[in-house]
Amino acid sequence: MSAPTERITIKDVAAAAGVSKGAVSLAFNHKPGVSEATRERIFAVARQLGWAPNSSARSLSRQAVDTIGLAICRPAKLLGLEPFYMEFISGIESVLAERDCSLLLRLVGSLEEEIQLQERWWRQRQIGGSIVVDLREADPRIEPLRGLKLPAVTVGHPSLTGGFPSVWTDDATAVGEAVRYLAALGHRRIARVGGPTDLGHSAIRADAFQSTMRELGLDGGQHMETDFSGEEGARATRSLLLSAHRPTAVLYDNDIMAVAGLGVATEMGIAVPDELSLLAWDDSQLCRLTHPTLSAMSHDVHTFGAKVAQALFQVIAGDDIASRPAATPRLVPRGSTAPPRPER
Amino acid sequence: MSAPTERITIKDVAAAAGVSKGAVSLAFNHKPGVSEATRERIFAVARQLGWAPNSSARSLSRQAVDTIGLAICRPAKLLGLEPFYMEFISGIESVLAERDCSLLLRLVGSLEEEIQLQERWWRQRQIGGSIVVDLREADPRIEPLRGLKLPAVTVGHPSLTGGFPSVWTDDATAVGEAVRYLAALGHRRIARVGGPTDLGHSAIRADAFQSTMRELGLDGGQHMETDFSGEEGARATRSLLLSAHRPTAVLYDNDIMAVAGLGVATEMGIAVPDELSLLAWDDSQLCRLTHPTLSAMSHDVHTFGAKVAQALFQVIAGDDIASRPAATPRLVPRGSTAPPRPER
């Protein structure tokens, strides 16, 4: 393939229409100074040459937003493996498609890198607004992004978002429901395989787990921290199942770790659900493809992503919106949970 | 949150530095006409105000590419469910991160929509080049994109890419290897659960499957067409296992369908691998999390995505590159394949 040729510029359009560059600019910015006939001729020529005002000029003049940003601070390798982000992005895209808008996506290695990136995206007018995910406690991104006056929607509990509007799921309530369900089945030794506790939502879930266990008078349930990958989910499950007082039920923080847990149980000859109950989180298609199927705290991640995008467009339009809860994950019992076998 | 305030413009920088807008432009475009001292003052003021030339002006003047495009023509809902695209994107992102470049991502509903989108992205200078995926036979995107002289790399067999450089995997060879492996284990009734045949690579795999079966003297193997989802993979497997001459081995076109196939076999009480061998494709983490683990035609999708991005940067730089094969998927035997049980 040959190297790309020069693109059509405003100069070419002006020359072809027999007008000045200023006249082309006036016509496209809908400003006075060119006659109706000239404006029509300029538009016809531009269409013919396939020229349009460049995007930054356009967004300045018409305030049209054709791009929003999303930076994700997770290792590239890991991102490919968890269904959550792809479903979340597919939900965002379903709203963007209606508005003829694209997503500028970037994986960053640190929050500092994300701050610089968001600043550059915004100052250079590459985006009309941004989605900020994986909030930490006292998140270092909040202050700099507020300083930029970047239109943004955060994903996380309102206690974490420093005044930015957010869309969030009530994870504490959902964890409480999950633990109470397992306890109601008769489980006393319940363990949890969670995500990294430096993430705000992981910390909230971990706290809710411990406090619900205490409330129910169950001894401090074992809690394993992972990076959300199936491999670490498998390792954590193996370690729990080898412990002296092995749990009879395990609550996972996503679905791929629960699938991994089921694989480990099968490999160790521990019957699910007869000898071990497994409860997943997020509930992608995966949970319905295994045998037994996986009970889950089900969460429509696609719709969640769509809600976030809708909220961002309101913020971009200048609306002063409140943080809004997405649907709370709800229990979908399937084949992987049952009462524990009586101890002999 | 308050509405965003006005952004800093070149006018503000010029005023603060006590120069004309033209002088700021000359300084940032590294053109003569401003003294070294003035240039330094302009840079200092711009840094202080946090201003940078806008991205389109920048890419025109320095040919810096800070964004590349990727449009995917698949239903948003489906995209979240298959590990392939997220791993592919994570591979692209690993190369973009090194170059401080972002990915403009869009889900489109039709190839016509993609053509219009790519044209707009390119003409409005939102992207420096694009990645074109899921090529069809006689793909309608080829001609219009060639007309644009859009720097692009396609993903697909060179027979499909109409002269665009491509990065491709030799699927025909890999399918041949897969079928020969199953035949060598002793399987005679081998079926295949494939993707939609309007996709070029699905058609190539389907042809390779039939021709290898013929070569080996095996009667036309059953072939089921799906949309790549786990649900359709489960349905196809159920239908195969209920047929009069049920296959003893099934080759899948991705990994989520193979996971689904394993779930169906378990549900029907058909032992894997004793009574049924399953062979997956792509080989994400999923294949190592099930029990038995899934044998697969393994394909490093992350590295594949990275190779595509590297090729695109060469094209953008004006290099006349040849299409290049990525590594051919290779057989990784695990627990889901074995010789068939002798017929009684």
Q: What pLDDT is attached to residue B203?
A: 94
pLDDT of residue A7 exceeding 80, the answer is no
Query: Which residues in chain A are contacts of B266 at CB distance < 8 A?
Result: 291
Q: Are A258 and A279 in contact (CB under 8 A)?
A: yes
pLDDT tens per residue across span A262-315: 999 999 999 999 999 999 999 888 899 998 999 999 999 999 999 999 999 999
Q: Which of B132, B75, B121 is nearest to A126 (CA)?
A: B121
Report, as an integer, the average pLDDT of A2-18.
70
Pairing of strands A277-282, A223-225: unpaired
Residue B327, burial from CB neighbour count under 10 angstroms (0-12, 13-18, 19+): middle
pLDDT tens per residue across span B245-283: 899 999 999 999 999 999 999 999 999 999 999 999 998
- Written out in words, the top-level CATH class of the domain with range A67-169+302-325 is alpha beta
Q: Does B291 touch chain A (CB under 8 A)?
A: yes
Q: What pLDDT is attached to residue A83?
A: 80
- Interface test mutation site (partner A, options B289, B304, B313, max chain A beta carbons within 10 A): B289
Q: What pLDDT is attached to residue B81?
A: 67
Report, as an integer, the average pLDDT of A328-342.
95
pLDDT band at B243 (very low <50, low <70, confident <90, very high): very high
pLDDT of residue A261 exceeding 90, the answer is yes
pLDDT tens per residue across span B205-222: 999 999 999 999 997 789
ipTM of the complex as predicted: 0.76
- Nearest by CB to residue A105, choosing from B102, B266, B315, is B102
- CATH topology of A67-169+302-325 equal to that of A171-299? yes
Report, as an integer, the average pLDDT of A243-271.
95
pLDDT band at B285 (very low <50, low <70, confident <90, very high): confident
pLDDT tens per residue across span B33-86: 788 788 878 877 876 676 666 544 443 333 468 899 999 998 776 776 678 888
pLDDT of residue B304 exceeding 90, the answer is yes
Residue with tokens 């989605």: A131
Report, as an integer, the average pLDDT of A59-80.
73
Distance in Å, alpha carbon of A285 to nearest chain B alpha carbon: 7
Q: What pLDDT is attached to residue B328?
A: 95
CB interface of B with A, residues 183-222, below 8 Å = none
Q: Does B125 touch chain A (CB under 8 A)?
A: yes
pLDDT of residue B168 exceeding 80, the answer is yes
Domain locations in chain B? 10-53, 67-169+302-325, 171-297
Out of A53-57, B33-37, B113-117, the most confident range is B113-117
Q: Locate A90 and state its tokens.
A: 């597919």
Buried b (16+ CB within 10 A) or exposed e, B93-108: bbbbbeeebbbbbbbb
* CATH no. of B10-53: 1.10.260.40
pLDDT of residue B100 exceeding 90, the answer is no
Percent of chain A predicted with pLDDT > 70: 90
pLDDT tens per residue across span A135-194: 998 999 999 999 999 999 999 999 999 999 999 999 999 999 999 999 999 999 999 999
pLDDT band at A61 (very low <50, low <70, confident <90, very high): very low
Chain-centre distance for alpha carbon B171: 15
Q: B128 to each of A129, B33, B153, B166, how far by Cα in Å? A: 21, 29, 12, 17
Question: Closest residue of A to B232, CA-based?
Answer: A289
- Interface test mutation site (partner A, options B90, B125, B278, B283, max chain A beta carbons within 10 A): B90
Which homologous superfamily is B171-297 in?
Answer: Response regulator (3.40.50.2300)
Q: Does A229 touch chain B (CB under 8 A)?
A: yes
Instruction: Quote the mean pLDDT of chain A.
Output: 88
Asked if the Cβ–Cβ distance from A80 to B103 is below 8 Å, we say no
Instruction: Quote the mean pLDDT of chain B.
Output: 88
Q: Which CATH number fits domain A171-299: 3.40.50.11810, 3.40.50.2300, 3.30.230.10, 3.40.50.150?
A: 3.40.50.2300
